[in-house]
């Protein structure tokens, strides 16, 4: 089965479970709205690609890990869009969850999706306890304190934040989880895959900063210019647009070089290069071409 | 070691881990503020009491389960106090987390504590995978969708809510998790312990409604009269104060009768009766005496 189908089916099953009989209707609808239709699913696809590179001998575990990562990503977007953070009315070209269902339901949907991510992994403890233990550790580290996504967002409430620390926590951590979990699900050493995730996460963050600074709202499906408006650290604001483009290219090259020895390294290298092309805002890609 | 000390030490270790080196200072302080000093720790003490009744042959697993339950309870309080829910400025006689640290940090601290709860359990997969799988299932069911705490709070955003469904999800579910996890941590069948948790949860909810309707803010350390103000379903509003007191007494008696056969049933029965005395607001207890 192709990667995207494996991801969507696993997410469907998980959301069905969490929003099953007895669930308050708005909460159920809000969780579904937060997860479907998805964005690029870049993190779970990365997880599947790394698992494939490592042999993917327990595909159902890989799928659970990929879904858990995507659920946590979507939960972070729901909370990040709340009025007390970005106050974003739109996401992926549609109303944000709080705009569609109200702020209380948005807070609760995010909470429920965090729980669902861990529950999705926990269902596989019986089949592969050692691997699930590693998956849970990687995922918890990526989203919790002291240096996961929540820490990244919390740096926005501090008077002083180091750009790299902030971005590594807010964005990089879940890319590291994606590569680490892909490896762990296939029985490989997750730590050897941290460096690849770290570099891809940084590349993605630079691309995201570029989009916020240089793309249009129509292209993005959400408000742009938010980093400047919220005085948030941004590579595009710090290095300028062309400086940030150069940095992005170097990071992708470094990522390719950071792929550890593995069974299907060639496939993974091709995928990383292909994804990198999609990272630049269309207007800048036209400029570059 | 006495129960309360085991609980506090396990919570200390967990919070230290989540707020370790690199953690944004406000996020670290907010998590600590949410957990220490604690309330009555009624849920983790219940978990420990049930584990003791079942033999408690893996005390470190029992402690992890008790801490996870308390972390999830504290996280729910932090989010429940937010401006979009109760907008409570105080909790346990001190500023609520959002009043002390701002709304963004309060949302994130709650998120981080949910993650920490699962991470705390996951650390024991290696030693007792089958028991941890049951613990995680019980905990996820108690806090996530379709019928855990988040569902309970989400019923407040629906036009129609059945009082029992609402309260069972919002309060009862974590009491069921407390008894189920106490049993599962000690290797007993968690499902046999659901009924006890269910009855104790309902008793506690009735007591909480009574406090909100009949106690003073000084006694509670938080605003009272919130159920009426927010038009929330409440046993005290529905049955009247004396009707609710009668209901509470019957529920406690039913709880004692619901204790399954186990090694130390007598200790547990004594504890349940002792706790029940503390549930009534002081003014009503004086009336009753």
- Domain B3-288 indexed as CATH 3.40.50.10490: no
- Which residue positions in chain A have pLDDT lower than 50? 289
The span from the CA of B94 to the CA of B100, in Å, is 9
Q: CB atoms < 10 A from the CB of B29, how many?
A: 17
CB atoms within 10 A of CB A251: 21
Judging contacts by C-beta atoms under 8 Å, the chain A residues touching residue B74 are: none
DSSP structural state of residue A39: S
Whether A158 sits inside 8 A of B24 (CB atoms) is yes
Lowest mean pLDDT among A52-56, A260-264, B159-163, B171-175: B159-163
User: Which residue among A107, A116, A126 sits closest to B144, beta carbon to beta carbon?
Assistant: A116
Q: What are phi and psi of A206, to 5 degrees?
A: -60, -45
Contact B164, B198 (CB under 8 A): no
Mean residue pLDDT of chain A comes to 93
Q: What residue of A is the nearest CA neighbor of B116?
A: A144
Q: Give the count of beta carbons closer than 10 Å to the beta carbon of residue B250.
A: 13
Q: Sign of dihedral through CA atoms B33, B34, B40, B46?
A: negative
Element (H or E) spanning A90, and its range? strand A90-91
Residue B285 has pLDDT above 80, yes or no: no
Which residues are registered as beta bridge partners of B52? none
A218 CB within 8 Å of a chain B CB: no
- Residue B91's φ and ψ, nearest 5 degrees, are -160, 130
Which residues, including other chains, have CB under 8 Å from residue B115's CB and lie 6 or more apart? A114, A118, A140, A143, A144, A145, A148, A150, B18
Which residues of A fall within a CB distance of 8 Å from B122? Answer: 118, 132-133, 136-137, 140
Q: How far is B236 from chain A (nearest CA, A)?
A: 24
If contacts are CB pairs under 8 Å, which of residues 45-74 in chain A contact chain B? none
Calculate how close chain A gets to B15, using CA atoms only, in Å: 9
Q: Is the pLDDT at B1 greater than 70, yes or no?
A: no
| In chain B, residues 153-212 whose CB comes closer than 8 Å to chain A | 153-158, 161, 165
Average of per-residue pLDDT across B98-110: 98
Average pLDDT score, chain B: 93
Beta-carbon pairs below 8 A across chains A and B? 207
Torsion sign across C-alpha atoms B204, B206, B208, B214: negative
> CB B145 to CB A111 under 8 A?
no
By Cβ distance, the residue of A20, A129, A144 closest to B129 is A129
**Domain spans in chain A, listed from the N-terminal domain onward:** 3-288
CB burial of residue B274 (10 Å; 0-12, 13-18, 19+): exposed
Q: Do A125 and B132 touch (CB under 8 A)?
A: yes
Tokens of B244: 């609710």
Under 8 Å between Cβ of A72 and A111: no
Smallest Cβ distance to A133: which of B21, B25, B126?
Answer: B126
Question: Given A107, A145, A157, which is nearest B18 (Cβ)?
Answer: A145
Query: Shortest CB distance from A143 goes to which of B28, B115, B123?
Result: B115
Cis peptide before A146 (omega within 30 of 0): yes
User: Is the preceding peptide bond at B37 cis, omega within 30 degrees of 0?
Assistant: yes
pLDDT tens digits for range B37-74: 999 999 999 999 999 999 999 999 999 999 999 999 99
B157 neighbourhood in chain A, CB within 8 Å: 24, 26-27, 101-102, 104-105
Q: Do A26 and B144 touch (CB under 8 A)?
A: no
Query: Would the pLDDT of B141 be above 90?
Result: yes
- In this predicted structure, what is the pLDDT of residue B289? 46
> Exposed, middle or buried by CB within 10 Å (0-12, 13-18, 19+), for A21?
exposed
Of A101, A115, A154, the CB nearest to B105: A154
ipTM of the complex as predicted = 0.94
Q: Which residues of B touch A123 (CB under 8 A)?
A: 133, 137
**Secondary structure, 3-state, A271-284:** HHHHHHHHHCCHHH
Find, among B53, B97, B72, B100, the residue nearest to B14 by Cα: B72
The token pair that represents A80 in the structure block: 């990040």
Alpha-carbon dihedral sign for residues B229, B234, B240, B242: negative
The interface residues of chain B toward chain A in range 121-150, judged by CB-CB distance below 8 A, are: 122-123, 125-126, 129-130, 132-133, 136-137, 140, 143-148, 150
Q: What percent of chain A has pLDDT over 90?
A: 77
CB of B218 within 8 A of CB of B166? no
Inter-chain touch B104–A126, beta carbons under 8 Å: no
Contact B101, B33 (CB under 8 A): yes
**B218 has a chain A CB within 8 A of its CB:** no
Give the DSSP letter string of B154-202: HHTTSS---HHHHHIIIIIHHHHHHHHHHHHHTTS-GGGGHHHHHHHHH
> Pick from B17, B136, B45, B273: which is nearest to A123 by CA?
B136
User: What is the distance between the alpha carbons of residues B211 and B235, in angstroms, rounded to a whole number?
Assistant: 11
Contact B154 A107 (CB under 8 A): no
CB–CB of A85 and B105 under 8 A? Answer: no
The whole-angstrom distance between B246's CA and the closest CA on chain A is: 29
* Per-residue model confidence as pLDDT tens digits over A41-64: 999 999 999 999 999 999 999 999
Q: Does the distance separating the beta carbons of A154 and B26 come in below 8 Å?
A: yes
Binary contact (A153, B118; C-beta < 8 A): no
Q: Which residue from A158, A111, A107, A108 is spatially nearest to B29, judged by alpha carbons?
A: A158
Instruction: Flag whether residue A25 sits within 8 Å of chain B, measured between CB atoms.
Output: yes
Of A19, A111, A136, the CB nearest to B114: A111
Asked whether the beta carbons of residue B154 and residue A122 sit closer than 8 angstroms, the reply is no
Q: Where are the beta strands (DSSP E) in B38-179?
A: 90-91, 94-95
Test B79 with A108 for CB contact under 8 angstroms: yes
Using a CB-CB distance cutoff of 8 angstroms, which residues of chain A are in contact with residue B13?
A: none
């Amino acid at each position: 089965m192709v990667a995207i189908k494996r991801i969507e089916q696993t997410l469907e099953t998980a959301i069905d479970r969490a929003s099953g009989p007895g669930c308050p209707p708005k909460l159920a609808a809000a969780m579904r709205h937060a997860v479907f239709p998805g964005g690029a699913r870049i993190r779970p696809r990365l997880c599947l690609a790394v698992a494939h590179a490592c042999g993917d001998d327990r595909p159902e575990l890989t799928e659970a890990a990929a879904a858990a990562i995507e659920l946590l990503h979507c939960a972070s977007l729901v909370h990040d869009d709340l009025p007390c953070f970005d106050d974003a009315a739109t996401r992926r070209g549609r109303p944000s969850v709080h705009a569609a269902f109200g702020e209380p339901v948005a807070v609760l949907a995010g909470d429920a999706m965090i729980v669902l991510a861990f529950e999705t992994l926990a269902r596989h403890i019986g089949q592969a306890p050692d691997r699930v233990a590693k998956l849970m550790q990687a995922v918890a580290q990526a989203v919790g304190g002291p240096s996961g996504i929540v820490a990244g967002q919390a740096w926005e409430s501090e008077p002083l934040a180091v750009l790299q620390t902030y971005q590594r926590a807010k964005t990089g951590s879940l890319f590291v989880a994606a590569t680490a979990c892909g490896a762990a699900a296939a029985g490989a050493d997750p730590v050897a895959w941290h460096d690849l995730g770290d570099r891809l996460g940084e590349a993605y963050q630079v691309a995201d900063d570029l989009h916020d600074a240089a793309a249009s709202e129509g292209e993005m499906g959400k408000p742009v210019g938010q980093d400047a408006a919220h005085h948030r650290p941004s590579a595009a604001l710090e290095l300028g647009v062309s400086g940030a483009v150069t940095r992005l290219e170097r990071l992708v090259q470094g990522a390719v070089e950071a792929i550890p020895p593995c069974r299907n390294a060639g496939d993974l290298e091709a995928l990383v290069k292909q994804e990198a092309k999609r990272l630049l805002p269309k207007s800048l890609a036209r400029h570059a071409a």
